[in-house]
Amino acid sequence: MGVTKIESAQQWKELVEDSTEPVVVDFFATWCGPCKAVSPLVEKLSDSVTSVKFYKVDVDELSDVAANNGISAMPTFLFYKDGQKRDDLTVRGANPPLSRRPSLISPHKLGYEW
């Protein structure tokens, strides 16, 4: 399925805030080493967990979207269901726990049991 890059605030609203499906958003920066390191894992997860939509936001290109979501470190992964952010599932950084435990992004965790 792949990870789709969000290019505008309008696209953010349409794909994330107005979504009725589970969504994972990877906030990244092109200069961020840990972001580059974890990117292949996120791509692999997006291909294997097809019940979840995966998006990425470049914090330098969409600084307003990043600021509105309280992004202060990269990478940061936000999880949404029915357009609502699940703060309890937010992951900051490339090490804990996303890269160590890809099972966190599973249909059970991200699907309809949220």
Q: How far is CA 9 from CA 65, 85, 111, in A?
A: 6, 16, 25
Q: Which two tokens stand for residue 60?
A: 């330098």
C-alpha triplet 89, 92, 96: angle, nearest 5°:
85
User: What is the number of H-type helices and E-type strands within the chain?
Assistant: 4, 6
Positive or negative, the CA dihedral 47, 49, 51, 53 is: negative
Give me the catalytic one of 6, 32, 57, 105.
32
Give me the catalytic one of 3, 35, 45, 59.
35
Active site annotation includes 35: yes
Active site annotation includes 32: yes
Q: Which two tokens stand for residue 104?
A: 């966190």
Q: Which residues form the catalytic set?
A: 32, 35
